[in-house]
Amino acid sequence: MSNHLDVLIVGAGLSGIGAAHRLQTHCPDRSYAILEARDASGGTWDFFRYPGLRSDSDMFTLGYPLRPWLQPNAIADGASILAYIRETATENGIDKKIHYGRRVVSAAWSSEQARSTLTTAEGTEWTCNFLYLCTGYYRYSSGHEVAFPGMGDYAGHLVHPQNWPAELDYEGKRVVVIGSGATAVTLVPALAQQAAHVTMVQRSPTYMIPLASKEPLTAKLGKRMSPERASRLIRKRNVAMNFLTFQASRRWPEKVGQMLRDRVAGELPEHVKVDPHFTPRYKPGDQRVCGVADGDLFAALREGRTSIVTGEVETFTEKGLRLTDGQELEADVVVTATGLVMVTFGEVALSVDGKAVNSRHLQVYKHLMFSGLPNLAWCVGYTNASWTMRADLSHQYVCRLLNHMARRRYDVATPVPKDAAGSDEPLLNLSSGYVLRASDILPRQGTEGRWKVRNNYLRDWPRMKLTRINDGALVFKRRVKA
């Protein structure tokens, strides 16, 4: 069985649906399909099922520009986000373009045919002129598991958030959550609503900031303009605020760090100290700041339903775990919120004219294409802001590129850097554990402009939407007909 499309999108999550929406709007004559490995759309927001799942970015920037977020809650729960994604797909007929149960395992580019052949684990083959990977960058099969000593001795329930069992009963139980990232910050207050007590164990703290879950401007602006216009205005304001905050973090990290710590200090009960529990080892701009919706984590600490411990796990015991300072924590349930495993290109094995592609040797071009890879883009969102802000710029650029190629009858577009060596800086320049663990597989950045990842929406916007497509770094070709 062979199916040929102008464009194949891999992944029917937030990015994949957004890409299809842009493609239908800006390239209406292109045939396309979406290949989804799972049996449902929604990606992350359908896959993760742990309690309290919610956005860590405001929905006015995480939502689609072509379909503005119209609800008043800036921080939304996972079910609301999933419904939003699926409604967008249904309203635009995108749901009819999704082929479920199609896990792409390889994509082979042929210069002779000027097309990619995709092979799925189910044995089907698809061909396309342009391949757009909207797969995200983490492994779906399992998260990052830390092999703590003594785990086999533990008699209670051991759970990783990425594989949360629906039947897990934690009501009235003692729960320990190992971790301090966005998942742990979300999980702990949600579990504390039913558990007897929840203890958050962190090796090192994370910068946090309390955020209001509802946007007060929604009601005020709603009296003067349409909900769509109000949503777009709030989005613009949030984009500007995010930009200013990140730039301040880079320029004055000590001052911003102190401001964040002072903000948290005002939310804590007297017995919980900012130092060491909320004094990170890194600078504010080096990792994402965790938003705490309505300060629910801090409220749980004030009410005594939750406690926080900063220290190293020495070993698991039969009844719980012991820290290196000798402190013993008994638990009926231990949740290892120890992070994700990053993968490149959705674990699709890429090849060009029969030669396997080593992702470590690639240079990124404009944050989405890669040196020596013809007619391929990988959607990677921002690390310091809403994922969709960057993803939508990538979607629009892909549409501009496709239209440019059609007008000039080009069949192939390949990024070719002048400086083949580039730099050794990875695609994602964060100090987060999940990024550092993947440094050996991530593509690299170059040293200038088009080859460097800026993570700066206000600089990326003109570069992706206004600059010339034929900028000298993309090499265009026409297929030689046999």
Decide if 2-141+341-477 and 151-336 have a common fold.
yes
Q: Among residues 171, 193, 215, 152, which one has the least CA distance to residue 297?
A: 193
Element (H, E) at 247: helix 227-251
**Residue 25 tokens, joined:** 């709007």
Q: What mean pLDDT do residues 86-115 have?
A: 97
3-state secondary structure (DSSP) of residue 128: strand
According to the model, what pLDDT value does residue 126 have? 97
| The pLDDT of residue 296 | 96
Cα distances (Å, whole numbers) of residue 254 to 279, 282, 294, 383, 388: 12, 10, 25, 20, 29
pLDDT grade, residue 223 (50/70/90)?
A: confident
According to the model, what pLDDT value does residue 420 have? 56
What's the CA gap between 358 and 349, in Å, rounded? Answer: 9
Q: State the Cα torsion 262-289-286-457 to the nearest 10°.
A: -120
**CATH number for the domain whose boundaries are 2-141+341-477:** 3.50.50.60
pLDDT band at 470 (very low <50, low <70, confident <90, very high): very high
Q: Does residue 370 have a pLDDT over 50? A: yes
| Radius of gyration (C-alpha) of the chain in whole angstroms | 23
Nearest-angstrom CA–CA distance, 309 and 324:
12
Among the ranges given (127-136, 240-249, 311-320, 326-335), the one the predictor scored with the smallest mean pLDDT: 240-249
Q: Is the CB of residue 258 less than 8 Å from the CB of residue 207? A: no
CA distance 168 to 187: 14
Task: Decide: 20 and 94 in contact? Cβ < 8 Å.
Answer: yes
CB count in 10 Å sphere of residue 22: 21
Tell me the β-bridge partners of 107: 118, 350
Structure confidence at residue 261 (pLDDT): 95
pTM score, two decimals?
A: 0.94
Cβ contacts of 247 within 8 Å, gap of 6 or more? none
Half-sphere exposure of 365 (CA within 13 A, CB side): 26
Tell me the pLDDT tens digit for each residue of 395-426.
999 999 999 999 999 999 999 987 655 667 77
pLDDT of residue 316: 97
Contact 365, 371 (CB under 8 A): yes
Q: Quick one: average pLDDT of 239-247?
A: 89
Give the torsion through C-alpha atoms of 356, 360, 361, 363, to 10 deg: 120
Helix (H) or strand (E) holding 251: helix 227-251
| Domains of the chain by residue range | 2-141+341-477, 151-336
**Token pair in block for residue 27:** 């390239």
Which of helix, strand or coil describes residue 39? Answer: coil
> Angle CA(74)–CA(382)–CA(184) in degrees, nearest 5?
60
Average pLDDT over the chain reads 92
What's at 162, amino acid-wise? Q
Tens digits of residue pLDDT in 46-91: 999 999 999 988 999 999 999 999 999 999 999 999 999 999 999 9
In the predicted structure, residue 1 carries a pLDDT above the cut 50: no
Arithmetic mean of pLDDT, 15-24: 98
Estimate the share of the chain in helix, then strand, then coil, as percent rounded to the nearest 5: 35, 25, 45
Domain 151-336 falls under CATH 3.90.1150.10 = no
Only one residue has tokens 């007909």, namely 481
Would you place residue 454 in the very low, low, confident or very high pLDDT band (cuts 50, 70, 90)? confident
Question: What letter does residue 456 receive in the DSSP assignment?
Answer: -
- At residue 474, does pLDDT exceed 70? yes
